[in-house]
Amino acid sequence: MAIGWYLKRLANMSPREMVHRAGEARRKQLSRKTSYGWDAFPSRGSLRCLTGLELRVASASPELKAHIRASADHLLEGSFSAHGVAWPKRAPDSLFPPSLWRLDPITGGDWPGGETYCFDIPYRHERERGDAKYVWDLNRLQFLQPLAAAVAIWNDENALRAIEQAIASWAEANPPFQGLGWNSGIELAMRAVSLIVAMSLCGGRLQEQTLAITEGLLRAHHFWLRRYPSRFSSANNHLVAEALGEFAIELVLPELRGDDRSRETLEREARLQILADGVGAEQSPTYAAFTAEMLLVADLLARAAGQAPLSPSAHQRLASFAQWISWISDQRGRAPNIGDDDGGCVLSLCMARETAYPTSVARAVAGWLDIASNVAASADPPQLRDALFAAKSGDNAPTGVKTFAEGGYTVVREQRAGNNVCFVLDHGPLGYLSIAAHGHADANAFTLCLDDEPVFVDPGTYLYHSGAGWRDWFRGTKAHNTLCLDGADQSVISGPFNWGAKAQARLGASIGGKEWMLSASHDGYKSRFGVEHVRQVRALPNGIALLDRLTGAAVKETAEITFQAAPGLAIRPENGGWVVFKEERPVLRLAFSSRGETFVVRGGALGEGGWVSPCFGGKLAADQLVWRGVVPEHGLITAIEWGAAAEQEPMQEAFSEA
């Protein structure tokens, strides 16, 4: 399996990247033969604390302070959870045993630790121990942040001692470049930022011994980040994280700053990974938010160190990101789960999962840059970033038809048939760079919310390395609200974070106003079946109509057009159509212009559909409506109506007018 992964990865590499990878492999071999140890990274007593962070947290709202208090108490009791999974509870007098850092909380198995060279751990192909993501998340040390916030607000001695114990334990159990915690640059970067934020929030209260250990940790992290940068096809959000890690370390250890590479990388990647229209280049709202939060934290730490902030062009990209999020999010602050989402963030209170992370970051952007905000508040508890960036929400949601041409989304927000409507059509690229690592095969897919309640949704992510076939299912075409031809994905999967042939999508037309109309297409099936999928969407008096056509060669293959309902909704046949119910209340009605096999699947076996992943590691059975048949030459119309029309028979004029 590992050989196959490398062969598929090579297929997406340029000659220059192959040369780079060969050099990287040689450096890894040399490092394996080198005995580092903490003696190689001694403390010189030059570690700086960044000022001002503790004052921002100390002025947090009463609600946020209560949440910080609850999080710190939870951690001090020996509890920790992530992605809805709780680690085994530890005694308060033994919070950080050495075994903690290598434990998988689901399988109970131990990953290789300080006895194993980090690059000898085959985490991509491991199945028995679990998903490396869980172990990595604990090792990011983000739980230090709420503990340090408790120190800043209440001078909490128990929290201070816990921070010191955690830092000492991690250093002892994870000597330089040994164990799972050292084999991915993004993990080193997030851990370094956590250490710097925690140290700065503690405001000089840490003991000299702890500061010496921290300095050694940061020096080792800086060395490793510089030695193994993410480049070429890997230069996605990982590269931003690595640049942030280097930048932050150089702010507190200025003698390590030999050049401006880290700042220049942050500036450049802000323009590359957040497109001019604000859409994230990785085609995922949550990964765009992750990149935006990294840029915000870089700006915050630079100012705290008395350095210049990021450039106006980087700030403009952040402002555009916040505007995009305001369009695609509902008034409860939830963005659709388009593309991958692993729950990653930079600042965390390590309590309840954030259900509205992109809007939380967008509000932080608005507050930090002091710009107008159309981003709704959310029902989530306040977060640490709310205080650090003076987050700002707005009550006036945007309305109308808005196309984000570079990113490839058109959003319709309007009042129709008595409901607030948020409709998002995806006509963007598969993903970023040659491997499009976090994209899904979802061209021409849509999501629909009525009155801020999700109705038709993106299926989500589920798992990464340990997801096996489910990883492919959740990012495949049949799981999304679009057309799948002959059971084939639009783009060809060639690895868990790799794509071969990629569908090219484009917007054909966008007409605004009350009688709005959109048209988009993609060529993902052209080379295999000789056809392109064209989807037209237009307004009806009481809803919308979808017209799906396959243009080009005569179509003989069976198509499936899917409608994935949100968990908690039920789809049942009624009066010649299909009705979506919430409990026993009709939400909307669907009807098709051509006969075909129509059915609902819910929680089927792998490959059958009927699943939604609300968060990383979570998988819920949910109704999925499927039309199956040969698409007529003139196309298939799906009428979707709500309001009073949801309780009536389908409008025949929706078919005759198309």
Residue by residue, DSSP assigns 94-123 as -S--GGGGGB-TTT-PBPP-TTSBGGG--G
Per-residue pLDDT band for 602 (boundaries 50, 70, 90) equals: very high
Using CB atoms within 10 A of its CB, is residue 305 exposed (0-12), middle (13-18) or buried (19+)? Answer: buried
pLDDT at site 654: 58
Residue 355 and residue 343 in contact, taking contact as beta carbons nearer than 8 Å:
no
Q: At what angle do helices 157-173 and 144-154 cross, to 10 degrees?
A: 150
Q: Could you give the CA distance from residue 617 to residue 133 in angstroms, rounded to a whole number?
A: 10
pLDDT 10s digits, 207-229? 999 999 999 999 999 999 999 99
pLDDT at site 443: 98
pLDDT at site 10: 74
Per-residue pLDDT band for 1 (boundaries 50, 70, 90) equals: very low
- Average pLDDT for 37-63: 96
pLDDT at site 396: 85
CB atoms within 10 A of CB 408: 22
pLDDT 10s digits, 533-569? 999 999 999 999 999 999 998 989 999 999 999 999 9
pLDDT 10s digits, 357-383? 999 999 999 999 999 999 988 878 999
Say yes or no to pLDDT of 653 above 80. Answer: no
Residue 358 and residue 325 in contact, taking contact as beta carbons nearer than 8 Å:
yes
Per-chain mean pLDDT for the chain: 94
Q: Could you give the CA distance from residue 275 to residue 181 in angstroms, rounded to a whole number?
A: 32
- Average pLDDT for 159-164: 98
Residue 623 backbone dihedrals phi, psi, to 5 degrees: -65, 135
Say yes or no to pLDDT of 356 above 50. Answer: yes
DSSP 129: S
Q: Could you give the CA distance from residue 446 to residue 544 in angstroms, rounded to a whole number?
A: 12
Q: Which of 657, 637, 481 is nearest to 561 (CA)?
A: 481
Cβ-based neighbours of 133, under 8 Å, separated by 6 or more: 83, 342, 463, 464, 465, 616
Q: What is the CA angle 287-298-617, rounded to 5?
A: 30
pLDDT 10s digits, 439-471? 999 999 999 999 999 999 999 999 998 888 999
pLDDT at site 347: 98
Q: Could you give the CA distance from residue 402 to residue 126 in angstroms, rounded to a whole number?
A: 44
Per-residue pLDDT band for 652 (boundaries 50, 70, 90) equals: low
SS3 at position 580: strand
Per-residue pLDDT band for 4 (boundaries 50, 70, 90) equals: low
Residue 136 backbone dihedrals phi, psi, to 5 degrees: -60, -45
SS3 at position 263: helix
Say yes or no to pLDDT of 657 above 50. Answer: no
Element containing residue 585 per DSSP (H, E): strand 585-592
Element containing residue 517 per DSSP (H, E): strand 517-522
SS3 at position 344: coil
Residue 93 one-letter amino acid: D
Say yes or no to pLDDT of 290 above 50. Answer: yes
Q: Which stretches within 253-397 are classed as H helix? A: 261-273, 285-304, 312-328, 357-369, 384-388
Say yes or no to pLDDT of 646 above 80. Answer: no
Per-residue pLDDT band for 530 (boundaries 50, 70, 90) equals: very high
State both tokens at 110.
């131990």
Say yes or no to pLDDT of 658 above 60. Answer: no
Residue 614 one-letter amino acid: P
Q: Could you give the CA distance from residue 613 to residue 168 in angstroms, rounded to a whole number?
A: 37
% of the chain exceeding 90 in pLDDT: 88
SS3 at position 170: helix
CA distances from 191 to 68, 374, 412 (A): 20, 32, 40
Using CB atoms within 10 A of its CB, is residue 513 exposed (0-12), middle (13-18) or buried (19+)? Answer: exposed
pLDDT at site 143: 98
Residue 226 backbone dihedrals phi, psi, to 5 degrees: -70, -30
Q: Is the dihedral of CA 298, 303, 304, 305 positive or negative?
A: positive
Using CB atoms within 10 A of its CB, is residue 648 exposed (0-12), middle (13-18) or buried (19+)? Answer: middle
pTM: 0.96
DSSP string over 438-484 = T--S-TT-EEEEETTEEEE-------SGGGTHHHHHHHSGGGSSSEE
Residue entry with tokens 């009806």? 540
Q: Could you give the CA distance from residue 477 to residue 402 in angstroms, rounded to a whole number?
A: 25
Residue 492 and residue 499 in contact, taking contact as beta carbons nearer than 8 Å:
yes
- Average pLDDT for 166-173: 98
The pairs formed by 470-474 with CB atoms below 8 angstroms and a separation of 24 or more are: 470/606, 470/619, 471/496, 472/496, 473/606, 473/607, 473/611, 474/440, 474/611, 474/613
Q: Which of 628, 554, 358, 338 is nearest to 456 (CA)?
A: 338
Residue 336 and residue 342 in contact, taking contact as beta carbons nearer than 8 Å:
no
pLDDT at site 487: 96
pLDDT at site 378: 83
Residue 493 half-sphere exposure toward CB, CA atoms < 13 A: 20
Q: Could you give the CA distance from residue 474 to residue 570 in angstroms, rounded to a whole number?
A: 20
- Average pLDDT for 571-600: 96
Say yes or no to pLDDT of 392 above 70. Answer: yes
% of the chain exceeding 70 in pLDDT: 97
pLDDT at site 644: 78
